[in-house]
């Protein structure tokens, strides 16, 4: 492998799901319960059902503004994101591994999260400093991380696919799709529930050195 660029997914790879869950499940459910005057648990079930009916292949799935309009919620996405920003949690191995990789590789962040969402996570963790670029596929490319999005990434970085290594926790968006266009990819499986992939970023160092 002649890797020049390492591309990282964000949610589930560098930060855990606490913040996303707080915003999408907790905060949105509260607002929806308020709006509809229904119990919180019922609100939660309904919004989660709506999310899964939409599915994560659709751009709107990632767009808080869309859901605010659709459910006619009070307040704004911005307020909601600010309210839960202290829930952002970075995985323990991230800083150390990025410190060791920077200087040796070009590092980029490539996420399906919307820009406003990603921005809060970057500010809270200070991860910004490690990346030459941070790219929100849905905000910047107007598409989920499909094979075309990975080709765009390669074009944007002016580097051929075979010199890029992408790492992330979603089998399709972070593993199959980049592989389709010749980008090296590694699946990370933080909770260890699935047998495939590596279980933490320390293993990434081993893969690169080995």
Q: Which part of the chain contacts Mg ion (CB under 5 A), choosing from 117-125, 138-146, 161-169, 199-207?
A: 161-169
- For residue 133, give the H/E element and its range: strand 133-136
Q: Which is nearer to Mg ion, 7 or 32 (CB)?
A: 7
Nearer to Mg ion, 70 or 115 (CB): 115
CA distance 127 to 95: 8
Task: Tell whether residue 12 is a contact of Mg ion (CB under 5 A).
Answer: yes
CB of 14 to Mg ion, least distance (A): 9
- Judged by CB under 5 A, the stretch of 4-12, 60-68, 91-99, 147-155 that binds Mg ion is 4-12
9 touches Mg ion by CB under 5 A:
yes
d(CA 147, CA 175): 10
Q: With CA atoms as reference, report the closest residue to 175 among 152, 201, 198, 208.
A: 198
- Is the separation of the CB atoms in 116 and 172 below 8 Å? no
Contact at 8 Å (CB) between 5 and 108? yes
- How far apart are alpha carbons 30 and 25 in whole angstroms? 9
Closest to Mg ion by CB, 32 vs 137, is 137
Which residue has the CB atom at the shortest distance from Mg ion?
Answer: 12
What would the x/- binding string for Mg ion be over residues 164 to 183, using CB under 5 A? -----x--------------
Mark the segment that binds Mg ion (CB under 5 A) among 14-22, 85-93, 122-130, 162-170.
Answer: 162-170
Nearer to Mg ion, 67 or 173 (CB): 173
Map residue 67 onto helix, strand or coil.
helix
Cβ(66)–Cβ(51) under 8 Å?
no
Task: Give the CA diameter of the chain.
Answer: 58
Among 11, 63, 121, 163, binds Mg ion (CB under 5 A): 11
Other beta carbons within 10 angstroms of residue 75's beta carbon come to 12
CB of 59 to Mg ion, least distance (A): 16
For the CB of residue 170, give the shortest distance to Mg ion in the complex, in Å. 5
Contacts with Mg ion by CB under 5 A lie at 9, 11-12, 169
């Amino acid at each position: 492998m002649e890797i020049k660029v390492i591309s990282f997914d964000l949610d589930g790879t560098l930060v855990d799901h606490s913040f996303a869950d707080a915003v999408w499940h907790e905060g949105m459910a509260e607002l929806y319960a308020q709006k509809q005057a229904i119990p919180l648990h019922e609100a939660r079930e309904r919004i989660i059902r709506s999310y899964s009916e939409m599915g994560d292949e659709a751009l709107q799935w990632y767009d808080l503004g869309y859901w605010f309009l659709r459910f006619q919620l009070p307040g704004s996405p911005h307020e909601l994101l600010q309210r839960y920003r202290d829930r952002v949690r970075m995985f323990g191995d991230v800083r150390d591994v990025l410190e060791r990789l920077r200087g040796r590789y070009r590092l980029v962040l490539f996420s399906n999260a919307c820009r406003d969402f990603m921005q809060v996570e970057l500010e809270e963790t200070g991860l910004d400093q490690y990346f030459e670029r941070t790219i929100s596929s849905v905000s910047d490319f107007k598409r989920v991380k499909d094979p075309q999005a990975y080709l765009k990434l390669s074009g944007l970085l002016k580097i051929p696919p075979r010199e890029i290594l992408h790492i992330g926790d979603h089998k399709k968006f972070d593993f199959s799709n980049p592989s389709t266009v010749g980008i090296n990819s590694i699946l990370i499986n933080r909770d260890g529930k699935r047998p495939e992939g590596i279980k933490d970023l320390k293993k990434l160092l081993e893969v690169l050195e080995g």
